[in-house]
């Protein structure tokens, strides 16, 4: 069995098994074990012989690293989830029946994202992204409160409309390829489409890309299609917030970039860059301003995710080896740092018994490990050195300034506005007189559950100081493919 089949098969099998396990402690650690097996198989993709491209699955320079990153964050989130869920059970917010459902849907969600990244077929990728949408919509409503159910419906409806537009765009892409490739699987296979993209009808390509950008852009959380994201983060379990921000947004952006490559290979098609630049700038600017008005700590970092996906979309819209390199690095650093922040925020909300920013203060005094982890995470995501987010944002701004100085100005202003908002909130959360802990169901955070936070932040710190040569070579190779 090839490593890719293990990567896809383990989550599918684990989802079925976990659906029948009522002992939540056993289910939590089986969830960790399945995630560890998936990551081990994903890591071997770097050294194993790559399977030949077929009509369904593909491993190439573009997706191999994202598959490994997705499996890694899924593993660390599963470790965090085991501790987080244990406390939710003690507080009686979740029942064994709901947890059986939660663990099964978690593996289904991870498997769907890995399938989307591995797909060599436009239709299969669409089905996988839709599967990820359905599984996360169910998990967002896990607490069964009115607010959680409302957030899940909002997520389902908005992302359902988006994915429907993406389906229409996929159909148009098939029609554009038909004259050159004929009917059948070849006209929806990535590896074949890329080889013949120059022969496609440019008018249909243009219309298809607009629908695909809006459709998958909704899943990315790009403005003005971002309204589902803050509610889903605020009302769902915190582990789901971590994988939504750290993984699902990357998968949707990956889909957009695959189609962008098709347009770039057709000299008569429109340049997709200006559309992505516009949506990226809008997302960055809107999210940076909205950060000042957030009163919920999870909503705060949800808008931070919108900001950073806007930065990545802007970088890929600019195009070119350096900007694409910066975009790939930014996707990676955002996944690591934002997941670490949500891990920390999950512990904080349980310790304090609230997500309201006004009711949380003095964490570095009352809970030093949590408080300083939050400080490090916010410093990293705000773009301060020596963390890797600083490197990626510096490359975005500098590459833009070298080519389009006027575009560099709104990017720099947006980054500074968002930076100010995050530091303002951090000062209240981390310093000053400590706020009281939860009166009912408070907890002491075990050191083991902090390890995923520290591991993510350590990787982001190392990446800001030194990028290994194989990683740089991968970024450069994919940056050239993206055009």
Question: How would residue 310 be classed by pLDDT, with cut points 50, 70 and 90?
Answer: very high
**What share of the chain in percent tops pLDDT 90?**
62
Please determine, for residue 441, whether its predicted confidence score (pLDDT) is greater than 70: no
DSSP assignment of 154-212, as one string? Answer: HHHHHHHHHHHHHHHHHHHHHHHHHHHH-SSGGGGBHHHHHHHGGGS-HHHHHHHHHHH
Please determine, for residue 366, whether its predicted confidence score (pLDDT) is greater than 90: no
Structure tokens at 137: 């919509």
Task: Give the mean pLDDT of 215-227.
Answer: 92
CA–CA separation, 439 and 433 (whole Å)? 18
Residue 180: predicted pLDDT:
84
Nearest to residue 9, comparing CAs of 129, 108, 140? 108
Residue 293: predicted pLDDT:
86
Task: Give the mean pLDDT of 414-439.
Answer: 88
Cα 277 to Cα 126, 160, 466, distances in angstroms: 24, 24, 29
Residue 455: predicted pLDDT:
96
Nearest to residue 18, comparing CAs of 92, 104, 85, 94? 104
Residue 58: predicted pLDDT:
87
CA–CA separation, 134 and 104 (whole Å)? 13
Please determine, for residue 325, whether its predicted confidence score (pLDDT) is greater than 60: yes
Please determine, for residue 55, whether its predicted confidence score (pLDDT) is greater than 80: no
Task: Give the mean pLDDT of 236-259.
Answer: 92
Residue 482: predicted pLDDT:
86
Please determine, for residue 357, whether its predicted confidence score (pLDDT) is greater than 60: yes
Question: pLDDT for 455-470, tens place per residue?
Answer: 999 999 999 999 988 8
Please determine, for residue 437, whether its predicted confidence score (pLDDT) is greater than 90: no
Task: Give the mean pLDDT of 423-441.
Answer: 81
Within a 13 Å sphere around the CA of 267, how many CA atoms are in the beta-carbon half? Answer: 0
Residue 481: predicted pLDDT:
84
Please determine, for residue 130, whether its predicted confidence score (pLDDT) is greater than 80: yes
Task: Give the mean pLDDT of 470-483.
Answer: 87
Four-CA torsion 442, 444, 448, 451, nearest 10 degrees: 80
Question: How would residue 387 be classed by pLDDT, with cut points 50, 70 and 90?
Answer: very high
Task: Give the mean pLDDT of 305-316.
Answer: 96
Task: Give the mean pLDDT of 46-63.
Answer: 81
Residue 439: predicted pLDDT:
60
Residue 1: predicted pLDDT:
56
Nearest to residue 25, comparing CAs of 16, 36, 33? 33
Task: Give the mean pLDDT of 19-29.
Answer: 90
Please determine, for residue 440, whether its predicted confidence score (pLDDT) is greater than 60: no
Q: Is 244 helix (H, G, I), strand (E, B) or coil?
A: helix
Q: Is 280 helix (H, G, I), strand (E, B) or coil?
A: helix
Residue 442: predicted pLDDT:
54
Query: Residue 204 in contact with residue 137, Cβ under 8 Å?
Result: no
Please determine, for residue 428, whether its predicted confidence score (pLDDT) is greater than 60: yes
Nearest to residue 152, comparing CAs of 142, 164, 161? 142
Q: Integer distance in angstroms from the first to the last C-alpha of the chain?
A: 34
Question: Which range among 49-58, 322-331, 383-392 shows the weakest confidence by mean pLDDT?
Answer: 49-58
Nearest to residue 39, comparing CAs of 67, 14, 61? 67
């Amino acid at each position: 069995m090839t490593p890719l089949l293990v990567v896809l098969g383990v989550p599918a099998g684990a989802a079925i098994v976990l659906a029948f396990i009522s002992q939540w402690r056993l289910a939590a650690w089986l969830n960790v074990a399945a995630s560890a097996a998936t990551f081990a198989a994903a890591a071997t993709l770097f050294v194993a012989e790559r399977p030949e491209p077929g009509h369904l699955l593909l491993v190439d320079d573009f997706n191999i690293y994202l598959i490994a990153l997705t499996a890694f964050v899924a593993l660390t989130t599963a470790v965090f989830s085991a501790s987080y869920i244990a406390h939710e059970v003690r507080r009686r917010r979740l029942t064994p029946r709901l947890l059986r459902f939660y663990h099964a849907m978690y593996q289904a969600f991870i498997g769907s994202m890995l399938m989307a990244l591995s797909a060599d077929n436009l239709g299969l990728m669409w089905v996988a992204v839709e599967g990820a949408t359905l599984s996360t919509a169910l998990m967002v409503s896990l607490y069964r409160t009115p607010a959680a159910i409302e957030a899940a419906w909002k997520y389902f409806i908005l992302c359902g409309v988006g994915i429907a537009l993406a389906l229409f765009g996929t159909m148009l892409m098939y029609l554009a390829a038909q004259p050159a490739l004929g009917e059948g699987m070849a006209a929806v296979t990535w590896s074949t489409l890329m080889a013949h993209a120059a022969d496609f009808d440019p008018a249909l390509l243009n219309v298809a890309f607009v629908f695909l950008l809006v459709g998958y852009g909704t899943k990315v959380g790009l403005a003005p299609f971002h309204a589902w994201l803050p509610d889903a983060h605020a009302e769902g379990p915190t582990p789901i917030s971590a994988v939504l921000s750290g993984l699902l947004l990357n998968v949707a952006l990956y889909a957009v970039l695959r189609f962008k490559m098709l347009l770039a290979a057709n000299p008569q098609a429109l340049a997709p860059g200006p559309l992505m630049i516009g949506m990226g700038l809008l997302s960055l600017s809107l999210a940076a301003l909205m950060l000042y008005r957030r009163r919920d700590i999870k909503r705060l970092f949800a808008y931070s995710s919108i900001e950073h996906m806007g930065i990545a979309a802007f970088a890929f819209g600019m195009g070119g080896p350096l900007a694409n390199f910066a975009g790939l690095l930014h996707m990676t650093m955002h996944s690591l740092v934002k997941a670490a922040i949500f891990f920390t925020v999950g512990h904080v909300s349980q310790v304090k018994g609230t997500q309201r920013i006004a009711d949380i203060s003095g964490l570095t005094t009352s809970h030093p490990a949590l408080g300083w982890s939050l400080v490090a995470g916010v410093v990293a995501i705000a773009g301060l050195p020596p963390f890797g987010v600083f490197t990626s944002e510096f490359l975005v701004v500098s590459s833009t300034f070298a080519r389009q100085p006027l575009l560099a100005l709104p990017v720099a202003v947006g980054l500074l506005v968002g930076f100010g908002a995050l530091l303002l909130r951090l000062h209240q959360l981390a310093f000053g007189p400590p706020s009281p802990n939860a009166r009912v169901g408070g907890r002491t955070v075990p050191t083991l559950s902090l390890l995923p936070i520290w591991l993510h932040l350590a990787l982001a710190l190392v990446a800001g100081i030194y990028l290994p040569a194989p990683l740089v070579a991968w970024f450069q190779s994919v940056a050239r493919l993206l055009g």
